Amino acid sequence: MHDPIVTMKDVSYAYENKHALNKINFTISQGSFIGLVGPNGGGKTTLIKLLLGILKPQHGSIELFGVPMNKFKHWNKIGFVSQKANAFNLGFPASVQEVVSMGLTAKVGYLKFFTKEHRQKIEKAVAQVGMSEYLHENIGDLSGGQQQRIFIARALVSDPELLILDEPTVGVDAENVKKFYDLLHQLNNDSGITLLLVTHDIGTMTHHATDIVCLNKHLHFHGNPSEFSSLSDKDLSHFYGHPLNLVTHNH
């Protein structure tokens, strides 16, 4: 068992008295690939915002890499690909290289400039997602799947140990979704990056993830995919708050 890099203890969060998360306890171990599933409004995005420090827990505590969140400084250890990443202004005249460079902006710091070493890192991250030939193309000229790869490169360029992805395959066609999961697999297995992927695609996650976490305001399930697959439809319907049948597939 690897060391936990994220530990949430009794974490609760409410928006104007409406509970989004209630007493959540869970850990993310180094090297794991966690599929975070649950119904809309179940608190998945809230949990991610808490992990990214955008929201502060109203109750309970969070530790990142063994450090209490309020003292955590090494945000470059956490990469993030948002749900809205592929909903950017398509006409924005930014090249792939420029988009990926944004992943280093905070790390480089104010009043400092990109060096040759940073540019090499950018090229390496673009190569890692298999998009080297598009380095100088405008991001808006690429397909949805290619754009998503570029946003992953932007998250990878700062060498994160934990990569959080919030429904990154929304609007991406089936073929590119498969390539996308292959890429995640490679990042997890070959580069050892811990992944937390928010998705509605439970069936696919059971084939790729090492852990499944099911969230609907409470943490209903945290275990391996085979345990999750063996849950009865009645249990799943209870977790989701509505009838649900689990169909697993590989793509």
232 binds other proteins (CB under 8 A): no
* Among residues 99, 162, 163, 195, the one that binds other proteins under rule CB under 8 A: 99
With contacts defined by CB under 8 A, name the span among 21-29, 33-41, 95-103, 195-203 that binds other proteins: 95-103
CA dist 11 and 51 (Å) reads 11
CA dist 211 and 225 (Å) reads 6
Q: Which residues contact 158 (CB under 8 A, 6 or more apart)?
A: 76, 79, 103, 104, 106, 107
52 binds other proteins (CB under 8 A): yes
196 binds other proteins (CB under 8 A): no
Contact, 21 vs 217, CB < 8 A? yes
80 binds other proteins (CB under 8 A): yes
With contacts defined by CB under 8 A, name the span among 17-25, 31-39, 109-117, 227-235 that binds other proteins: 109-117
CA dist 215 and 220 (Å) reads 6
The candidate with the shortest Cα–Cα distance to 201, out of 242, 164, 238, 247, is 247
CA dist 195 and 79 (Å) reads 10
119 binds other proteins (CB under 8 A): no
Cβ closest to other proteins, residue 91 vs residue 243: 91
Cβ closest to other proteins, residue 166 vs residue 211: 166
By the criterion CB under 8 A, which residues form the site for other proteins? 52-54, 75, 80, 82, 84-85, 88-89, 91-95, 97-99, 101-102, 105-106, 108, 110-111, 113-114, 136-138, 154
